[in-house]
Structure 1
Amino acid sequence: MGFEKDEASSSSYILNVPREETPLLNKANHLSSQTKTFANVFLAIVGAGVLGLPYTFKRTGWITGAVMLFSIAFLTYHCMMLLVHTRRKLESNPLKSPKISSFGDLGFVICGPAGRFAVDAMIVLSQAGFCVSYLIFIANTLAYMFNYKILGISPKVVYIWSCFPFQLGLNSIPTLTLLAPLSIFADVVDIGAMGVVMAEDVMIFLKNRPVLEPFGGFNEFFYGIGVAVYAFEGIGMVLPLESEMKEKNKFGTVLASSMAFISLMFGGFGILGYFAFGEATKDIITTNLGQSLLSTLVQLGLCINLFFTFPLMMNPVYEVVERRFCEARYCLWLRWAMVLAVTLVALLVPNFADFLSLVGSSVCIVLGFVLPALFHLLAHKQELGWQGLALDVAILVLGLAFAVSGTCSSLLEIFAAKA
């Protein structure tokens, strides 16, 4: 789950020093087919968030969780298309609007520097949050597999600090060219691990048949929304992908097909994981599989995957921060400081799924629902009928309500776990 490098990169091909109004993307040299666009949407969305879905279904109940997951998927698709329609509306008059290539460009055209700052802030927080969750996953998984204390220090702390010097090196690489093959490896490992886990889940369910709860409590609903929004986060890739598609009039259909496929896959993964283990479902589903050779290989593969995905996901953060504070020039000390900050946050959060819910509620809801609805409302306010106006306002209000409620619920869970 993440952004393409060019999504947040600066364009200094016209100006030596990029300014606030400088577009963030060069024109794409090669346009994508429908199949490639479908695959790009899939790769941009599917990530580590799916591993927390079985535990979320345990908390929310499997019927509530399934309804919630598919509802979030539909709303995510709708808000992605709001961005596309908003850009098309603004670019229909090229004399009034410059080329809009990214979410941040759209925010600047509609709301000026405040709009770009809002998008940039959400990008930084969400991408850094993803990397925090990666470190938590790696540390908790390795601690489960190799639970050894060194000098009385907990295994989680040892494993997180063990990653730190290597991440300093990986995040020092100024270009993603050398890291690009790792993205393909990461996606292959993700899909393979999901397949293995789902097959294991089916066999375990047929053997054990645990007691299952179809519905959860009211507070658990908001918790689940945060995890689901996190799992589907990827709205920053929509405008770049639509720009690079050959048949732009078919982008909505391709996006809908990809989102439907991902929803079915996520729903199947979450339900099967909960069905297999019931109330014993853990926050990282792979730790439920025991320590067989196959399970060990899957868990190690996911750890390696996320370890090398870390610098890819941090790159949009560096692009935004270096653009704002270093005139878009490479800054080693700033990158190292941000890796340290992410590491320190990971040390403070005990539970993987709880942190997914926190990031999804506090940041991803604003980035994925609130800002697209707000930008669409402001751009189309002259021609929106009462139904369109009511829909945008409803998404705004519900998004803010879910963000506040989900954030409070997640923070309570995190503090309770630490206590």
Structure 2
Amino acid sequence: MIMSEKHNHGFIDGDGTDSYNSFSAAINSREISTHKEKSNTYSIALNDLKKSAEVGDYDPYNYRDTEHPTTNKETFLHLLKGSLGTGILAMPLAFYHSGYVLGVVATALIGSLCMYCVHMLINCEYELCKRRKVPSMTYPTTAECAFQDGPPIFQRIAPYSQHIINVFLLIYQLGTGTVYTVFIGENIHLVLKENDIHIDARWVMLIFLLPLILINYVKNLKFLAPVSSFANIVTMISFGIIVYFMVQQDIVWENREPFGSYKNYPLFFGTVLFALEAIGVIMPLENEMKTPKSFLGIYGVFNSAMTVIVILYIGIGLYGYLAYGPDVGGSISYTIGNEIPAQVCKVMLSLAIYTSHPLQMYPAIDTVWKQYLQPKLEKSSHQTFYEYATRTFMVFFCFCLAAAVPYIDLFISLFGALSLSALGLAFPALIYISTHWDSLKGVRGTMIIVRNIVIFCFAIVGLLIGTCTSLEKIIEKFSMKNSTL
């Protein structure tokens, strides 16, 4: 249920009369100048708000109260940062699975589809906020409210929709934490190996387990802000080194296929979705903007950022595959060589990913603890112990998955297909149908319903085939490994 929230600027979300009365009280409590122009200004403000309350006009953007609103430029950079991680480093292998021609075309198409689905999701959030007179909503809340307004079959699942969305978000966030753990272990393992120190990647992960647990004990992320800024600089330098090594390679067309094996297409699909979809940060970023109306639109912040991201992904994927061919690894950082700059690059990327680990785990820990565990432990005098135990367990869980299946490419593909097919494609399509259910009439309404059902079916097929293919490859890897023992 959506509860009314009181905000610092004196407005109360609810009906327009409450907003008007709150605003009047706030003004009366202030020392207002007796200057005639100022009096006229306040009178106009009160009259406008009263008229707005009477007609029921409510714009959620005018009621958002954020402590530190972000500018368009800052939001643009946050979107870039949220998408430039381990996913982009896996794009050359994705192009190996798809072939360079199909890789370029399919990445552009999937990127466009992801952009379209985000537009639907944000527009639905805005419409639902207007209906319920609340300033903003989270993804799970948007889904629940949409299904409440949808056809009867969706209304039945509305009470459970938040939990369903949370499960997929948790899979995605824990999957990202697992990918980060594998990335750190494999890169440090390669650096040690290149210096004749032979330690298995799993042991490296175990060495990093305690530091990962400790950094995830930081509850307030503002304390990690300086470290995060340093990590951003390190990441950019590392990307520069990777690009330098790639352009040093001769581009040859031998053993570079324009179209890969169709059996590997699901791996490509899952990898691209994992790389492109930053669905966990998109709605929070839009909610924190100073000018949220600038987020969408043809030349809006989101479209501009996604266009740059898709071009970068196509460039890295295409050039990385053409440069290294079938020898490309699960991360391009594995493949760039063993020279000193390459080793420095791997260490810097590992440190950057290490400091980013709590940022990726924070939403998962926050959801599990605050929404599910803390309410059940309200009467306990050991809440602090249980909270830290929860943080420890979730980091340890990611470590166990990483140690059991230390294959970063298969993890990326698995979690991309399993969670992001649902979060980035399927649910936005259903949410849009539900939100506008009463107005989807006639030929146009039928076309919109059919279009979104096609998107939903495409997402479900991608989820099932992508997940099954990734699991099949993981089992195959285990079988091959056991046969060599």
* One-letter amino acid of the counterpart of residue 110, structure 1: A
* One-letter amino acid of the counterpart of residue 35, structure 1: K
Match of 2:121 among 80, 83, 86: 83
For residues 181-232 of structure 1, give each alpha carbon's deviation from its aligned partner in whole angstroms, at most 9, with x where no partner exists: 23223333333322221222122125x6653111012221111000000001
Q: Is the 8 A contact 1:210 1:275 kept in 2?
A: no
- Compute the TM-score of the two structures, normalised by the length of structure 1: 0.88
Q: Is the 8 A contact 1:104 1:116 kept in 2?
A: yes
- Compute the TM-score of the two structures, normalised by the length of structure 2: 0.77
- 2:220 aligns to what SS in structure 1? coil
> Within 1, Cα distance between the matches of 2:222 and 2:72?
25
Shift of 1:291: 1.0
> Within 2, Cα distance between the matches of 1:353 and 1:193?
20
1:118 counterpart = 2:164: yes
Structure 1 residue ranges without an equivalent (≥5): 1-10, 15-24
> Within 2, Cα distance between the matches of 1:142 and 1:116?
39
Q: Is the 8 A contact 1:209 1:276 kept in 2?
A: no
Shift of 1:296: 0.7
- 1:326 aligns to what SS in structure 2? helix
Shift of 1:86: 0.4
Q: Which residue in 2 is equivalent to 1:66?
A: 104
List aligned pairs for 1:12-411, cutoff 5 A. 27-94=65-132, 98-111=134-147, 112-147=158-193, 155-206=200-251, 210-252=254-296, 253-323=300-370, 324-327=372-375, 331-384=387-440, 385-411=445-471
* One-letter amino acid of the counterpart of residue 143, structure 2: G
Q: Is the 8 A contact 2:125 2:142 kept in 1?
A: yes
Shift of 1:132: 0.5
> Within 2, Cα distance between the matches of 1:319 and 1:12?
20
Q: Is the 8 A contact 1:354 1:414 kept in 2?
A: yes
- 1:93 aligns to what SS in structure 2? helix
Query: Larger radius of gyration, structure 1 or 2?
Result: 2
> Within 1, Cα distance between the matches of 2:302 and 2:245?
30
By relative contact order (CA 8 Å, sep 6+), the higher-ranking structure is 1
C-alpha distance 406-46 of structure 1, shift in aligned 2 (>3 A): same
Shift of 1:320: 0.2
Q: Is the 8 A contact 1:132 1:346 kept in 2?
A: yes
> Within 2, Cα distance between the matches of 1:210 and 1:179?
47
Q: Is the 8 A contact 2:64 2:135 kept in 1?
A: no
Shift of 1:116: 1.2
> Within 2, Cα distance between the matches of 1:308 and 1:265?
23
Shift of 1:129: 0.4
C-alpha distance 356-301 of structure 1, shift in aligned 2 (>3 A): same
Q: Is the 8 A contact 1:286 1:299 kept in 2?
A: yes
Q: Is the 8 A contact 1:210 1:277 kept in 2?
A: no
- Structure 1 residue ranges (4+ consecutive) displaced by more than 4 angstroms after TM superposition: 11-14
> Within 2, Cα distance between the matches of 1:68 and 1:144?
32
For residues 222-273 of structure 1, give each alpha carbon's deviation from its aligned partner in whole angstroms, at most 9, with x where no partner exists: 1100000000121232222223333333321221111000111111111111
For residues 48-81 of structure 1, give each alpha carbon's deviation from its aligned partner in whole angstroms, at most 9, with x where no partner exists: 1111111111121111111121112111111111
Q: RMSD of the alignment, in Å?
A: 2.5
- 2:363 aligns to what SS in structure 1? helix
Shift of 1:375: 1.1
| Count of residues in Structure 1 that have an aligned counterpart in Structure 2 | 395
- 1:289 aligns to what SS in structure 2? coil
> Within 1, Cα distance between the matches of 2:145 and 2:277?
23
Structure 2 residue ranges without an equivalent (≥5): 8-62, 148-157, 480-485
